[in-house]
Structure 1
Amino acid sequence: MQDRPEELPTQAQPEAQAQAQQPLPLPRPEPTPGPTPGPTPASAYGSPPVYPPAQQYAYGQPPGFPPPSGGKGTAGRAVLWAAVGAVAASVLWAGGIVVLGPLGDDPDLAGYRAKANLCSAVDYSALRSEYAEEDNAPTHNSLKHKAIDQSYCSISLKTSSTSSYADAYLSVEMDLHKTTDPAPEFTAVWSEYGQRYEDYEVEEVSGLGDEAYLVTEDTTSGTGTSGSRAVTLAVRDGWMTYQMSWSAYTSSYGTTTPPEVSEVSRWVKTDTRSTLENLRSD
């Protein structure tokens, strides 16, 4: 006959049951070694902040909270943290829905079509009043994707055929945003462009698309023999964004000086209107 296990005394049974109900503390995993720190990459807006490598706390308590230590009230605290976690997950899920926004919106491309060779649609007739020599080999490239179509063109501007190098440069870019409305970011970037560099001035332009901004810079000295001048016109029409940019260094002009920013601004506005019309009709 086998010996029966000794039964616990009656008065000790509640204490044994309480101990059995207490959750055992889960082992804290060892931190995963991170990569060897390297130099922080340069950034146009300054070096990004350096954060320590994240520690993994799978199934354990997050940093800052003590691990379960047993005793009265442990089960209640476990239920409390589970409830807090559920609420946090619900908030994050709701936040994710807000960030993503409604899906399936049809892009408002305002009749524009992507061009494999944007240079073929760029009209810079007004600028040609200063730069008579035509660039017979402008640079262009393009990108097509389900999220965005991009077209780019770069043109060298010469005042005459005797110019050995370009006297100024013209670049044009058109983006067709097909999944995301670019309006908020476009407004933020171009209306506040002067925050980046104190030499730039920003002016809102009416009569071009849904919104347009003229950004100018003039760092030439009083004699006009050093520095540079630049003009950029940025336009948003629906989910299409466009920029035409002109820039020139006084050193490229030799004994003469580049045209005034106000004059180039008029030329760029005129050429932008005709170029946008070409991009809709082609």
Structure 2
Amino acid sequence: MSTPAQQPNPYQQPAYPQQYGTPAPNPYLQQPFPAPGGTGGKRIPGWLLAVTGAVVASAVWATTLFVTGVFDREGAAAPAKPGFGGYEYEANLCGAAPLNAFRGRYSLAGADSRYTSQQEGLDQSYCHRDLKDLQATEKDGETVFVRTSAEWHRAGDPSAEFASSYWAYRDKTTDKSRYRYQPAPIDNLGDEAFLVTEYRGEGKDTVGSMLLAVRSGWFTFEMEWTWYGGGPDSKVERPDEKDLKDWLIRDTTEALAALKQKG
């Protein structure tokens, strides 16, 4: 008896043939990112490179400013260091300013008066000397003196206010005042210098005092000649205005040279 041929099962899934070699790629697997470099990658925009370079340069510059002390740690500008133009502190300002130019007309009368002070923000030295006019007698009743002062400003630069403080003398001259003040800049002395002349009398045309002020860096210096007295019977004429200016300039120059030589 013959065996009938086996019929195929209509519900059986067909078998996949076995494959060899490289498997087919998985369409759902995420592809790796391309390696950096090479000509296939995207170029960084030029503007981004420029911005990045500027940021780096700014950081380097800021670090330099911190290290050198131009800015403090809070980012504020570091305070400037005082510079005194080479003029050293001197407690005996009378010794530094002997008034040799004035001594052609005057002699020293009595002992000098001086004081000195050294503080955290300001050093000061002061000298006052009474003078006797060699052309006058006791009956003439004159009072003449020269004061000298020097200041070493440690807490702030005086340059911003120096000129204004002497131009301000013009505002002291009014119709009701007994004095007239005339300030004027002087060349070839320090960083800047001013001469202030005070006029008195009915016509406000007689010199009563003359002040010379000099600034060099954070150092300031003043020398002032002042005259009082001379009653109606006095026959002594006061020094010529040009002579007073010359004496002040010469004696101030000598005093400044002594203060600088000291250093």
TM-score under structure 2 length normalisation:
0.62
How far apart, CA to CA, are the structure 2 residues paired with 1:141 and 1:272? 19
Q: Find the partner of 2:239 among 251, 259, 282.
A: 259
1:171 partnered with 2:147: yes
How far apart, CA to CA, are the structure 2 residues paired with 1:144 and 1:124? 25
Distance 1:233 1:163, change over 3 A: same
Identity rate, percent: 29
Q: Find the partner of 1:181 among 157, 175, 184.
A: 157
Task: Show the counterpart of 1:74.
Answer: none
Please give the secondary structure, in 1, of the residue aligned with 2:260: helix
How far apart, CA to CA, are the structure 2 residues paired with 1:260 and 1:218? 13
1:205 partnered with 2:186: yes
How far apart, CA to CA, are the structure 1 residues paired with 2:77 and 2:146? 38
2:110·2:130 contact (CA, 8 Å) conserved in 1?
no
Task: Show the counterpart of 1:55.
Answer: none
Deviation readout 1:154-180 (Å, 9 max, x if unpaired): 010102398557641100000000120
2:135·2:236 contact (CA, 8 Å) conserved in 1?
no
How far apart, CA to CA, are the structure 1 residues paired with 2:208 and 2:215? 24
Task: Show the counterpart of 2:119.
Answer: 145
Deviation readout 1:50-90 (Å, 9 max, x if unpaired): xxxxxxxxxxxxxxxxxxxxxxxxxxxxxxxxxxxxxxxxx
How far apart, CA to CA, are the structure 1 residues paired with 2:101 and 2:229? 21
1:117·1:151 contact (CA, 8 Å) conserved in 2?
yes
Task: Show the counterpart of 1:116.
Answer: 91
Deviation at 1:249, TM superposition (A): 2.3
How far apart, CA to CA, are the structure 1 residues paired with 2:136 and 2:238? 16
Query: Which 4+ runs in 1 deviate beyond 4 A?
Result: 161-166
Please give the secondary structure, in 2, of the residue aligned with 1:158: strand
Alignment of 1:40-119 (within 5 A): 102-119=77-94
Please give the secondary structure, in 2, of the residue aligned with 1:114: coil
Task: Show the counterpart of 2:134.
Answer: 160
Deviation at 1:209, TM superposition (A): 0.2
Deviates more, 1:197-206 or 1:238-247: 197-206
How far apart, CA to CA, are the structure 2 residues paired with 1:240 and 1:163? 39
**CA RMSD after TM alignment:** 2.4
How far apart, CA to CA, are the structure 2 residues paired with 1:105 and 1:238? 12
Deviation readout 1:16-38 (Å, 9 max, x if unpaired): xxxxxxxxxxxxxxxxxxxxxxx
Deviation at 1:212, TM superposition (A): 0.3
Q: Between Structure 1 and Structure 2, whose CA radius of gyration is higher?
A: 2
Q: Which runs of 5+ in 1 are unaligned?
A: 1-100
Q: How many positions carry a matched residue from both structures?
A: 178
Deviation readout 1:220-261 (Å, 9 max, x if unpaired): 457x9xx76110001100000111000112517932121122
Task: Show the counterpart of 1:33.
Answer: none
TM-score under structure 1 length normalisation:
0.58
Bigger RCO (CA 8 Å, 6+ sep): 2
Please give the secondary structure, in 1, of the residue aligned with 2:165: helix
Deviation readout 1:101-157 (Å, 9 max, x if unpaired): 8343210111112222211111311111110x2245100001101111000000101
Q: Find the partner of 2:217 among 227, 235, 238.
A: 238
